[in-house]
Amino acid sequence: MLLVYTHKITPRITYAFKHISLRILNVPVSFTTTVEEFIAHDSMKISYAKQPLSNELFIRSHELLFEQGLSDLDINVQDWGMTKCFFSTSEKSSLPFDIFAATFYLLSRYEEYLPHVNDAYGRFLATESLAFNENFLHQPVVDIWAYKFKEILQAQFPDFEFPERQYNIQPIIDVPIAYYFKEKGLLRSVGGTLTDIFSLKFKQLYQRYQSLMGFKRDPYDTFKWIVTKQKNSKVKFIVFFLIGEYSTFDKNTNINKKKFVSLIKYVGDYCKIGLKVSFLALDDFNMLKKEKLKMETTTNVPLEASRNSFSKLNLPETYRNLIELEIRQDFTMGYINHMGFRAGTCTPFQFYDLDYEVQTPLQINPFHCVDYALLKRHSYLDKKEDLQRLMETVKSVNGTFAPVFHNYAFSNMERWKGFRDLFGLVLESADEK
């Protein structure tokens, strides 16, 4: 066990230290404000304060973890070996940066509470983030810092045996639209037919009626392939179905259709099922509650996980709503158009409510790549290299790689060519660990 001496134990301190020590390094951590208890401790220990007590391992603390609310922070990002960090310390400090304050800043999404520019959907842009502007979005810096911390602990306490965590993957499959042609209802099918005709898309018109008449499988209906992959994989996929009402933003199949209900139950027999929260429900608690109840009625199991439509987050309201509805896990923390680490980590963490200054029971599972981001690369080789580079980065810190693929990315449509193979590469990486 690691004992930390500090002059004041705050919720922010326990939150940051537990993520690094317990979740990443698998080392339990406790805290004390009593010098005598610290001196008597015969295992690993460090002091976290402005000045060291004696010759112990010492990390000079930044004020951030002793504050409440938001303040105007002066952040100066500097190089640190092959990575970057901020909140520099002093010569007496065993680490040149206060990695715990920096970790808190990134995990709490401190910058997303500060004034910033949103996109057309009201989302926080990657280009507004410190990580993007200081060129460390591509690294799980919090995990890298944790291993640097581990090195100084090992040097000081060579007899302590650190548990080793293993690289793993969490495949996420998004289903905003289960079928391209089928199960749309008469009006939507007629409207689609007229659009095909007036747009001179006769090939698509032919495909539409091949699917509607049952001669060919719907292009987006890749669920048998997904289930087959799941049967052959040791890793459990999590599949998020959108079941909200039809709107400008969300256009999935009506949850009252028997075939759609049967599809969710069929996939749920093999994969874990989550709720893809509709765009309108993000700002409407009652609508979110209704969608949760619908999904639980369909699957006959309590809903544990959700992921937001368009990967939109309204902090802290979005997460407070999930907590109130006792949804235990969120899979929305990431960027749509940029690969990388929005919260600076590839380790699941708890949501910290900055307004209430409390760690909540909601677990945030950050994702690091969406298939849409890979579409920007022209060749299959470029896509493969980008994906493998990201996986190797996560492997280097034995983290959790969480990519997001859509059901239609596994279709035979031209723009999604090769994505089945890319998904296979992700699954294979779990066997190579």
At 232, which helix (H) or strand (E)?
Answer: none
pLDDT digits (tens, 9 = 90+) for 314-342: 999 999 999 999 999 999 999 999 999 99
Top-ranked range on mean pLDDT: pick from 82-86, 113-117, 189-193, 198-202: 82-86
pLDDT digits (tens, 9 = 90+) for 115-140: 999 999 999 999 999 999 999 999 99
Give, in order, the Cα–Cα distances in Å from 39 to each of 9, 43, 95: 18, 10, 21
Asked whether residue 404 carries a pLDDT value surpassing 90, the answer given is yes
Q: Burial, 199: exposed, middle or buried (Cβ in 10 Å; 0-12, 13-18, 19+)? A: exposed
> Among 383, 353, 357, 356, which residue's Cα sits nearest to residue 371?
383
pLDDT digits (tens, 9 = 90+) for 105-114: 999 999 999 9
pLDDT digits (tens, 9 = 90+) for 206-216: 566 666 666 67
Number of residues assigned to the chain: 433
Structure letter (DSSP) for residue 355:
T
Place of tokens 């309590």: 302
Q: What is the pLDDT averaged over residues 347-371?
A: 97
In the chain, % of residues over pLDDT 90 = 83
Give 219 or 279, the one with higher predicted confidence.
279
Asked whether residue 433 carries a pLDDT value surpassing 60, the answer given is no
pTM of the model: 0.93
pLDDT band at 185 (very low <50, low <70, confident <90, very high): low
- CB 429 within 8 Å of CB 235: no
pLDDT band at 188 (very low <50, low <70, confident <90, very high): low
> Among 333, 332, 280, 277, which residue's Cα sits nearest to residue 303?
277
In the chain, % of residues over pLDDT 70 = 93
pLDDT digits (tens, 9 = 90+) for 56-90: 999 999 999 999 999 989 999 999 999 999 999 99
Asked whether residue 196 carries a pLDDT value surpassing 80, the answer given is no
pLDDT band at 378 (very low <50, low <70, confident <90, very high): confident
In this prediction, residue 34 carries a pLDDT of: 95
pLDDT digits (tens, 9 = 90+) for 225-259: 999 999 999 999 999 999 998 888 888 888 989 99
